[in-house]
Amino acid sequence: MIRRTLVASGVSSEVVRIRDTDVHFYRAEKGGKGPPLLLVHGLGSSANAFFKTMVPLAKLFRSVVAIDLPGNGFSPTPARGPLPVREHLEILSEFRRRMIGEPVFLLGNSLGGGMVLNFALQEPQHVRALALVAPAGARVADDRFQGLLKSFHVDDAKQARVLANKLYAKPPLYILLFADELRKMVSTDTVKSLVREVTPADMFTPEQLSSLTMPTLLIWGRQEKLLPYEGLDFFRAHLPANAEIHEVKGFGHMPQMEHPRAFIERVTKFAVARGLVHA
């Protein structure tokens, strides 16, 4: 239904073959003048997580692209099985090169925030600016880290409702009523593989964060319930001094879903202040 709604509003739904993987993505172009904006979703999510924000943002940015990472959304899991984080990054890199072809404003939510941060560290020359929305990757106490991973061990609708309450400041009724759909989304082989793979050693170091050179925005919800608050402390302590850090009242883990207007306003103000778009 979301894809039909987006297509009806003029957003294209496309597929590109990258290596042995079909990668689905949305592209919105509505007359914006700013650099291309590439949106990357979180664990067990999809490009649909940005459906409320793509068209408005496309009035600011020349092209707004939301990718379904392999094994998520409309991008199938490769025949050889789920991909590790390293290959997700390689596919993201090749996708940017082939389907966009110029430096981008990168925005990622949750695991997608960790993905785009990694991308920016590896290919800073291809990143005009960086927006991290409730990003994964902070170094926190081991029990907090393990608790985060356990949140994605969802075996039934009851556990799915618990997760929904962590993902949203105030979960919409339809999410709670159709909790089994959320269970299916976070019980895929791709999600299970990534949860098994990640370790505390994979988290970012202070030196990595402080080395970022591009304009950087961090959005963290004051009602964040999935990620430990120590994560915000870590980013606040180690991101460059010129990074913008917004702890926003009313925002949960997925503000682009719950508060799209306020979310767009934050992104727009940052883009204007950093000269990416004109007011």
Per-domain boundaries in the chain = 2-273
Q: Name, in order, each residue with C-beta under 8 angstroms of 242's C-beta and a sequence gap of 6 or more.
A: 215, 216
At 173 the pLDDT is 86
Measure the CA dihedral 68/195/219/55, to 10°. Answer: 10
pLDDT at 80 over 90: yes
CATH number of 2-273: 3.40.50.1820
Residues paired with residue 245 on neighbouring β-strands, in sequence order:
218
Could you give the percent of the chain with pLDDT greater than 90? 94
Question: 180: pLDDT confidence band, cut at 50, 70 and 90?
Answer: confident
Cβ atoms of 168 and 254 within 8 Å: the answer is: yes
pLDDT at 207 over 90: yes
Cα gap 115→108, rounded to integer Å? 7
Three-state secondary structure call for residue 216:
strand
Among candidate residues 68, 11, 61, 19, the one with its CA nearest the CA of residue 44: 68
Summary mean pLDDT of the chain = 96
At 95 the pLDDT is 99
How far is residue 197 from each of residues 51, 73, 167, measured CA to CA in Å?
29, 21, 22
pLDDT at 279 over 80: no
User: Which element (helix H / strand E) includes 12?
Assistant: strand 12-18
Contacts within 8 Å (CB) and 24+ apart, 159-168:
159/183, 160/186, 165/225, 166/225, 166/226, 166/253, 167/225, 167/226, 167/252, 167/253, 167/254, 168/252, 168/253, 168/254, 168/257, 168/258
Task: Give the mean pLDDT of 148-173.
Answer: 92
At 69 the pLDDT is 98
At 136 the pLDDT is 97
At 176 the pLDDT is 81
Could you give the percent of the chain with pLDDT greater than 70? 100
At 237 the pLDDT is 98
Cβ atoms of 217 and 244 within 8 Å: the answer is: yes
pLDDT at 152 over 80: yes
At 222 the pLDDT is 98
Cα gap 186→124, rounded to integer Å? 31
pLDDT at 62 over 80: yes
Task: Give the mean pLDDT of 129-134.
Answer: 99
